Structure 1
Amino acid sequence: MEKHRVMILGTGPAGLTAAIYAARANLDPVVVEGNEPGGQLTLTTEVENFPGFPDGIMGPELMDNMRKQAEKFGAKFVAGWVTSVDLSQRPFKVTVDDTKQFEAESLIISTGASAKMLGIPGESEMIGRGVSTCATCDGFFFRNKKIIVVGGGDSAMEEATFLTKFASEVTIVHRRNELRASKVMQQRARNNPKIKWVMNVTPVSVKSDGNKVSGLEVKDNATGETRVLETEGIFIAIGHSPNTKFLAGQIDLDDVGYIKTDGVSTATSVEGVFACGDVMDPHYRQAITAAGSGCKAAMDVERFLEGSSSHDWSVSATANQ
């Protein structure tokens, strides 16, 4: 069984930033890639809000650059998905793809949160080409266009309101006659003259020419009739699911499943286990905030290992330089 000082679970902006910092601190991190190497940014096209790229950068290119940077400083990568962990004692045990087993003196969990999707024809095929799950990431690309937001909770109201800064018209599509959003968020959306409403309909399929979205087919829940709502963009805002099922019962999670951390640190309820990125952040969910928390996690791990009474890791203090 392979043994490591630091294992990082996940390779989004948080995990890769943690890998860069941990590798520069001579911690020899091993990173488990997960089933979506690079995270959600690999599903996007141009990223314009990550500092340092005035002309923007493609999401997959950004993540590839971050991986190469981590590898440059000595981070190692393991392909596969973490299927189980044992956090009952150190060293922690990590199982990948039910077959490969590792031991680690410390863990950084950055497995992210996956946007919930509608699961309708045309949806996944048009991600990054008119279908999005992040208004703050992609809203700019829909300036002066008519777009749709699917959802009825606070997230949908917030995304729709934000998108009115760019779009000429935003239509909220919801499968019920009543919204789940708080009264304050509902009222804010209803008071916005750019927001229209199509209620009590179920999305059926995403219409496109193969390159760009042209409409959303919906079924009227009262009559059963279908129609196509013309649009140039569809934002899915029905929530996120943190990727923490493999941690159930072993670490403190909130009611939704996000990992709880201690104050401003990345420390979790298990000593030696740290969390960063969307897996512990249900609020911001941005590449840059995830990267920042990855930096914090690596520095927290370094300090933890330096203070370990059972081992002398001889860790160099280079991570914060």
Structure 2
Amino acid sequence: MALVGIVGAGIGGIATAVQLKRYGIESVIFERNKIGGLIRNAYSVENTMFFPNGIKGEKVVEILEEYVKKYDLKILREEVRDISKSGEEFKVTTDKGQYSFKYVVVASGTRPKRLSINASRLFYHVVDVPQGRFERVLIIGGGDVAFDYALTMSKRTREVIILMRSEPKALPLLQEYVKEKSNITLLRGQVWEVEEGEKLLAKTTAGDFEVDVILAAIGREPNLEFAKAVLNERNLFLVGDVKNGIYRQTALSIADGIKTAMIIWRRERYGDTE
């Protein structure tokens, strides 16, 4: 088995695996979903310094897939359920088996905070919204993700409503982009009930709205439940959004991954010297 187990095939996980491969160190990446993680939802990535005109999240995923092929990275389509420590080894238990590694990198990203309501056409990731055109879409939230989703949906929706509890917290540049879209409306309020029908009837403190789809972006939290027992263990590393809190940036995830790979290589080459 490889020396390093990596949980998550997002930007941070793949950056770690690529740098390890450059050092001649093999790794195994566990991914329960698709390559790319949250970046798959991005309207435009503009601050990585290599794409001055921005790059769509879906294009970033294509680049990641090229890296996987170029470096022949091993990805297992398995869901990690638990990580424990046995002697000097980590035991990674998935829905299909158990694996042992000297080092484990957790690059599992974040998961969305959930609303207290349920609806058949309520989504938390814009990539999960069915293809097609819509009359009206309601987006709940006032941060970067909510505004990013609004920009994406504005291209195939007659009217997009962003419903916020307070003043917008999104990046000023994203707010400017939204202001330029004539079919995006910002409202202050909260949703308290959704009725099912041919369309969804969203009842909010700003009024009632018939909508085709609801997208919720009310915050995110680290996806770490499976690793809680080993978070303080040496040779376990957190990479990317799973550790960066509100500082969820592509460039930071790449840097985390590369630095982690460098630390692992130095530990293998020089022991405890860092």
TM-score (norm 1): 0.64
| Matched residue, 1:100 | 97
Aligned partners of 1:33 and 1:77 also within 8 Å: yes
Give the CA deviation at 1:92.
0.8
Partner deviation per Cα, 1:244-300 (whole Å, 9 max, x = no partner): 11112332xxxxxxxxxxxxxxxxx21111111111011121222222222222122
| 8 Å Cα contact 1:150/1:238 also seen in 2 | no
Q: Which residue does 1:284 correspond to in 2?
A: 247
Distance in 1, Cα, partners of 2:254 & 2:88: 27
Asked whether the 8 Å contact 2:82–2:93 carries over to 1, the reply is yes
Give, in whole Å, the separation in 2 of the partners of 1:272 and 1:206: 52
Name stretches of at least 5 consecutive residues in structure 1 with no aligned partner.
Answer: 176-200, 209-215, 252-268, 310-321
Equivalent in the alignment of 1:173? 189
Partner of 2:203: 219
The answer to whether 1:239 aligns with 2:219 is yes
Match in the other structure for 2:260: 297
How far has the Cα of 1:206 moved from its partner? 11
Alignment partners' CA distance in 1, 2:20 and 2:165: 41
Instruction: Indicate the structure (1 or 2) with the bigger Cα radius of gyration.
Output: 1
Tell me if the contact between 1:149 and 1:159 (Cα under 8 Å) persists in the aligned partners.
Answer: no
Name 1:90's counterpart in structure 2: 88
Tell me the C-alpha RMSD between the 2 structures: 3.8
Question: What is the identity, as a one-letter code, of the residue corresponding to 2:70?
Answer: K
Deviation at 1:84, TM superposition (A): 1.2
Q: Of 110, 114, 118, which aligns to 1:113?
A: 110
Does structure 2 retain, via aligned residues, the 8 Å contact 1:48–1:54? yes
Q: Which moved more, 1:164-173 or 1:32-41?
A: 164-173
Is the Cα–Cα contact under 8 Å of residues 148 and 173 in structure 1 kept in the other structure?
Answer: no
Where does residue 228 of structure 1 map in the other structure? 209
Distance 1:206 1:59 in 2: 33
| Equivalent AA in structure 2 for residue 245 of structure 1 | E
* 2:65 match: 67
Q: Deviation of residue 239 (structure 1)?
A: 1.6
1:195-227 CA-to-partner distances (Å, cap 9, x unmatched) read xxxxxx44557998xxxxxxx842257xxxx72
User: CA deviation digits over 1:143-176, x for unaligned, max 9?
Assistant: 9x985444548xx74139775433345213324x
**CA drift at 1:121:** 3.2
Query: Separation in 2 of the partners of 1:140 and 1:50?
Result: 20
When residues 296 and 150 of structure 1 are mapped into structure 2, their CA distance, relative to the original with a 3 A threshold, is: farther
Pair 157,294 (structure 1): closer, same or farther in 2 beyond 3 Å = same
SS state at 2:244 partner: coil
Q: Could you list the runs of 5+ residues in structure 2 that have no partner in the other structure?
A: 130-136, 180-184
Instruction: Name the residue aligned to 1:192.
Output: none
Task: Map 1:1-321 to 2 at 5 A.
Answer: 3-44=1-42, 47-97=45-95, 99-118=96-115, 119-124=118-123, 127=126, 134-135=145-146, 137=148, 148-150=161-163, 152=165, 157-159=168-170, 163-168=174-179, 169-175=185-191, 201-202=192-193, 217-219=201-203, 227-228=208-209, 236-251=216-231, 269-308=232-271
Checking the alignment, whether the CA contact within 8 Å between 1:151 and 1:238 is kept in structure 2 is no
Amino acid at match of 1:274: F
Question: In terms of mean alpha carbon deviation, does 281-290 or 5-14 score higher?
Answer: 281-290
CA contact (8 A) 1:151 1:236 kept: no
Distance 1:207 1:149, change over 3 A: farther
| DSSP 3-state at the match of 1:285 | coil
Distance (Å, rounded) in 2 between the aligned partners of 1:205 and 1:159: 30
Q: Is the 8 A contact 1:277 1:290 kept in 2?
A: yes
